[in-house]
Structure 1
Amino acid sequence: MKALVGAKLIDGTGGPVLNDATVLIDGERIVEVGPRLAVSLPPRTEEVDVSGMTLMPGMIDCHDHLASKDYGLASRMGYDSPLSLQHLRTAKVLEQTLEAGYTCVRDGGGLDAGFKQAVESGLYPGPRLVISVAIISPTGGLADKVTASGHCYPHGDPMIPSGVADGDDPVRAKVREMCRVGADVVKFATTGGASSRPGHGPLDIAFGPKEVKALIDESRALGRRTMCHAVGGPGLRMCIEAGANSVEHGSYLAEDPDLSKMMAGEGIFLVPTFEIYEYHATLSAPHMQARSRALMDIHKESLHQALAAGVKVVAGTDAGGYVHGDNAREVQILVEKGMSTMQAIQSCTGWAAECVGLEKDIGTISKGKYADLLVIDGDPLKDIEALRRPDSIKLVMKGGVTAVDKLPVKEAEPVA
């Protein structure tokens, strides 16, 4: 057994901080949590002194794109390097993300099931993965990847099929296809986005109500949750009324306050992904910059309305401009936009685990949960940026296995 002893404990539930805490671990699970004096350690337990530090659950990114590298056309089409090199780069991103304190990631598209199998089998280090494989949309939507010259992006990999489907029955078939190749969650789009082609922007609709109902019904029948790219306009209302499990972006929610109330009532999560808009507003193509700047103010207001209505807001980077390993920038932005530091921590721990459907096993520090743990030199409740600083991350543990150990080495006791 192993015990982490002496830290200030933030358990991920939003409850009070526990000072001088002990977390006892047996194998991959937590077996006891409490004040140091209340937890009895069995003989031969390895004690790890984390006094003066903060112990919290491993963080969760609810919307990343681990296989994506940049917005260059050649890169997005997969023409800039051999597939082997692309896959090795993605493997390195998995490792970097885990080292940044992220023990779970829900991938929003582009990651095939092989990466999840590699992590689960212990072949390569990485966070727990919840994958969608590819986004589903109608012709002309986000899944319909066509260049300005009219050429279609290739879909040569049978493990990442095209997500284009039109009509109720083809949409159902597409859900089945995504599940066949390993999708844990079904991702779809009911609007365009900041980075989509000119003429299909954040307020433009994709899919009709019957197609969305068919998609969600089929996903539920196959035991899958759904995550819906929906920025604003009629498509945003459509996905909420149909009962998607999470709304990705939701920038224009504040245009209709009813929507936040509906989300709260149905337990629909909001993944605002502020970080990607921060990127698009400064570094992307001109039409992407204009769209991102236009939604900045209402996006912040939408966050405030959602929180006031009782919506659980969770952190997702949407790749953050494909700056991998700095996922906690999104958590910092949530505080800058108005969340409390405790809410922001819940957004990447307890609430996030609920969003990805793994709340029984991860997200909070309690008896029976996996020992997915993070030790920070600092106090993120006072300085949320501590979650981003590599030198502040002293210990990362996933399922009881140490992935990062930068704790101070104690000097050996002198021999008498």
Structure 2
Amino acid sequence: MSTRYRHAVLVDGTGAAPVPDAVLVVDDDGQIAYAGPASAAPRTPDATDVDLGGRTLLPGFIDCHVHLSMTPERGLVAGLAADPTVETFEIARRLRDTLHAGVTTLRDLGGTPAGYRTAVERGLIEGPRLQVAVKVISHTGGHADCSLPGGIDAAPHLGELADTVDQARLAARRVLRAGADVVKVCATGGMGSPHDDPDDEGLTQEEMTAVVDEAARHRGRPVAVHAQGTAGIRNALRAGVSSIEHGYGMTDELCDLALEQGTFLVPTLSTVFAPLDPAVMAEHHYRKKSRWSGISKENIAHAIARGVPIAMGTDSGVVPHACNLLELSHLVDLGMAPLGAIRAGTLNAARLLGVDDRLGSLEVGKTADFVVVDGDPVRDIAVLGRPENVVLVARSGEVHKDLAVTASGREQ
């Protein structure tokens, strides 16, 4: 039986103006049969009727950059002592909490096996649908090399090392064999890694080109690139990657190149806006973040102003999980309009993930992933960043979170 959600303000994810007094009709296959003004809605006499009470109805959000196997409070050494069975249930809880925060699709960019994707698909655990990179391809001593001074790899589930063009191609084949939907490589060093710096270059342009070629040969898989410093971003763009993750060193030249190629920027501003506290951060991490914070905000704001395609990504795991939609406030803080920020977290993100034919907007024929929130995020984008304001979450038409909306609004 279909369900008719009425008395809503519809923000459809395309960037179009909100539609007051809107109706969403979801058929019994979990597809959108209608989304638009109540005045033009079809008659649905047999549908279950739900009154949303004037709340805002939006597409389910998509976070293009998370690490479910990580938490900000746990360092690499602590991870060595983690019980893998307990860790499995911890990740399952993070998935559920993230779904209930309004995120219906996630892209995990390193550290999470493909089995979690299968578990969600089969309904064994509750969470957003998943795309995974499985591991991160890095060079020896690079951002995803988690070797401790004694030679022990503190995170063998995270990094895949490659130091030549041939090794980079083989590394891509290994992560694809492990079930990767997207190949993740490191073009630069990073903030939290002890061996390198954001200005350091990671894989060479030639090595990344080999990875891009290998991914293309396997059903056109995308390549996402950890790239913070300017030189590494340039190498990655010239290699033809799908997305620049972080992009803190973006320049006019690199904006031009990204616009020419249609490359997405996933700026992970949640990490940029995270408080700096030397009492709880490693010295190298605090030093690098302090130096880059202002530069990052300035460059990302410029990329937004230039119109570089932006997709939402939070780097959750480096920052807390289940606060994903705070990222939208940071985009607005750097100059993006609220409707543009919502689009970055919905239709733009779906385009980056290659699922915009069925996800990312509330349009007829698409899968019914949607959220209902208290408040008006077009006037105050911050309402989305508070999970308690997300009162209903549905994935493929199935309601996973309902804070009394359907119970109080269902016609008898």
TM over 0.5: yes
Aligned AA (1:348): G
Is it true that 1:328 corresponds to 2:339 in the alignment? no
Match of 1:371 among 368, 372, 375: 368
Partner of 2:26: 25
Q: Counterpart of 1:62? A: 64
- CA shift for structure 1 position 42: 2.6
SS state at 1:52 partner? coil
What is the deviation of 1:412?
Answer: 9.4
CA distance in 2, matches of 1:308, 1:23: 33
Greater Cα shift, 222-231 or 280-289: 280-289
Judged with a 3 Å threshold, the aligned counterparts in structure 2 of structure 1 residues 411 and 162 are, in CA distance, closer, same or farther, namely closer
Distance between the aligned counterparts of 2:35 and 2:222, measured in 1? 31
Which whole-Å CA distance do the structure 1 matches of 2:221 and 2:34 have between them? 32
Aligned to 1:219, which of 215, 220, 236?
215
Matches within 5 A, 1:71-82: 72-74=74-76, 78-82=79-83
CA contact (8 A) 1:144 1:164 kept: yes
Map of 1:40 onto structure 2: 42
Paired residues for 1:5-404 under 5 Å = 5-26=6-27, 27-70=29-72, 72-74=74-76, 78-153=79-154, 155=156, 160=157, 162-198=159-195, 200-222=196-218, 223-254=220-251, 257-279=252-274, 281-282=276-277, 283-319=280-316, 321-404=318-401
RMSD: 1.9
The alignment of Structure 1 onto Structure 2 pairs a total of residues equal to: 406
CA distance 1:202–1:402, change in 2 (3 Å): same
Q: Is the 8 A contact 1:103 1:372 kept in 2?
A: yes
Percent of matched pairs sharing the same residue: 36
CA 1:205/1:318 → structure 2, altered by over 3 Å: closer, same or farther?
Answer: same
Using a 3 Å threshold, how does the CA distance of structure 1 residues 412 and 296 change in structure 2: closer, same or farther?
closer
Amino acid at match of 2:333: E
Q: Which amino acid aligns with 2:250?
A: L
Counterpart residue identity of residue 177, structure 1: R
Task: Give the SS at the match of 1:394.
Answer: strand
> How far does the alpha carbon of each residue in 1:272-296 deviate from its partner, in whole angstroms, 9 at most, with x for none?
1121233373342121112112112
Which one-letter code corresponds to 2:30 in the other structure? E
Which ranges of structure 1 fall in alignment gaps of 5 or more residues?
none
Aligned with 1:61: secondary structure? strand
Which range is displaced more, 129-138 or 335-344? 335-344
* 1:31–1:368 CA contact under 8 A, matched in 2: yes
Cα offsets for 1:291-318 (capped at 9, x unmatched): 1121122212222221232211122111
1:349 alignment partner AA: T
Secondary structure of the corresponding residue to residue 394 of structure 2: strand
What code does the residue aligned with 1:86 have?
A: E
Q: Distance in 2 between matches of 1:242 and 1:214?
A: 8
Q: CA deviation at 1:191?
A: 0.3
String of CA shifts for 1:120-174, please: whole Å, max 9, x gaps: 001111001010001101111122211144433363xxxx474101211221111
Structure 1 CA distance, aligned partners of 2:235 and 2:194?
22
Aligned to 1:301, the other structure's residue is in SS state helix
Matching residue's letter, 1:195 = G
TM-score (normalizing by structure 2): 0.94
Q: TM-score, normalised by structure 1?
A: 0.93
**Cα distance in 2 for residues equivalent to 1:53 and 1:407:** 13
- Structure 2 vs 1, CA of residues 8 and 134 (structure 1 numbering), >3 Å: closer, same or farther? same
**Deviation of residue 391 (structure 1)?**
2.7
Aligned equivalents of 2:155, 2:124: Cα separation in 1: 29
Contact 2:99–2:127, Cα closer than 8 Å, also in 1: yes
In structure 2, the residue corresponding to 1:358 is in which secondary structure? coil
What CA distance in whole angstroms lies between the structure 1 residues aligned with 2:103 and 2:138?
Answer: 29
Tell me: CA distance 1:62–1:413, structure 2 relative to 1, closer, same or farther (3 Å): closer
Equivalent position amino acid for 2:204 in 1? G
CA deviation after TM superposition for structure 1 residue 74, in Å: 4.9
Aligned partner letter, 1:354: R
Query: For residues 56-114 of structure 1, what are the alpha-carbon distances to aligned partners after superposition, in whole Å with 9 as ceiling and x for unaligned?
Result: 001111101112123534556x3232100011100000000000010011111111011
